[in-house]
Amino acid sequence: MDILDTSAIRSISKDKIKALAGIRPLAVSPISVWELLCHLDETEKSENADITYRRRQGQIGKIAGLQILHDPFAQHAITVGARAVTNSTRFEDGEGAAEVVKLVTISPTLEALYTQTCRLGNGARFSLRGLSANARRVLAEEESRFSNDVRKMWQRVDQHSCATDAEKLGDQVFWNRTQEMLRALSNSYEQDGISSAHLEEEVNQSQYLYYGYILARICKYVTDQGTSFTPDENDMEDGLICMHLNLLADDILVTGDSGTIGALGRVFDIWEKYSPPQIKPSCRVMSATDYVKAVLPVPA
């Protein structure tokens, strides 16, 4: 499964996305859908609002027909068998995002979109009035959660390793801290009654990239800002998308963010360096340009 983040969706044409989806299984996180939706009501200076809407509508139209995944936390819960202890509303996000995408593509104006009502398979309905504002609220909540996770992770790492600067956070410390946090997560699931013979391995496959991504970005924050850093909320989307990726599956994160490529590159390198040699990750991260070149046939 290949996942396009928002930057990749914006940079790849609709025709190419359609062609790519005919070759590889292509999907989008609901986080990316909300990111696109939150800009629908924005207008450019001296530009007609309907023209601006149609441009942004076109970006969303690129992903119509693609698989919209579960919420990242819901996907992780499914992977490790923790659905019973996960907020049930998170399992509605993927379906809701997919339905909203369909309604955006058939609504000629923003006002027409706001008259629509979204219907879910469980019978629930919600109005799309104020959709963009609601999307911004959802993103703000996730960004706040992400920032808190980043700060907590750094406090834990700094406490155990005294790594008060990025130079001290070497590969061995990086590996030890991620594994400690993943074991703690596995233990918390066991305390909640979630248990299986392969729970720790499943948590690693589902969350190593997420924890590793945050830790790699922390190194950047500390280098640039010092120990009282402010997490970059723009990192939230790709951070959460990491939960969709199975470390050992043929999954690809397609992004236009060089920072994400660099961060995950280090995360993969550290796994290769310290994990058991028989466990080789198949998951990858690629730039949108390289992905298109690698997947689409070269024109004759």
Distance CA 77, CA 84 (A): 8
CA angle centred on 147, ends 143 and 152, rounded to 5°: 150
pLDDT (0 to 100) of residue 87: 76
Lowest pLDDT segment from 6-20, 38-52, 125-139: 38-52
Distance CA 196, CA 198 (A): 5
The answer on pLDDT for 169 being more than 80 is no
Q: How confident is the model at residue 131 (pLDDT cuts 50, 70, 90)?
A: very high
Here the contacts of 202-206 (C-beta below 8 Å, separation 24 or greater) are 202/79, 202/80, 202/81, 203/80, 204/247, 205/79, 205/246, 205/247, 205/248, 206/75, 206/76, 206/79, 206/80, 206/243, 206/246, 206/247
Structural domain boundaries in the chain: 2-295
The answer on pLDDT for 99 being more than 90 is yes
Q: How confident is the model at residue 228 (pLDDT cuts 50, 70, 90)?
A: low
Closest CA relative to residue 39, chosen from 112, 148, 133, 124 = 133
Closest CA relative to residue 235, chosen from 31, 76, 79 = 31
Lowest pLDDT segment from 23-27, 113-117, 215-219: 215-219
pLDDT (0 to 100) of residue 212: 94
The answer on pLDDT for 159 being more than 70 is no
Distance CA 221, CA 24 (A): 35
The answer on pLDDT for 120 being more than 90 is no
Helices vs. strands in the chain: H and E counts, helices first: 13, 7
Distance CA 252, CA 264 (A): 11
Average pLDDT over residues 117-144: 88
pLDDT in tens, 251-276: 999 999 999 999 999 999 999 999 88
Q: For CA atoms 234, 1, 17, 100, give the dihedral sign.
A: negative
**Chain centroid to CA 76: how far?**
12
Average pLDDT over residues 59-84: 90
Distance CA 268, CA 251 (A): 13
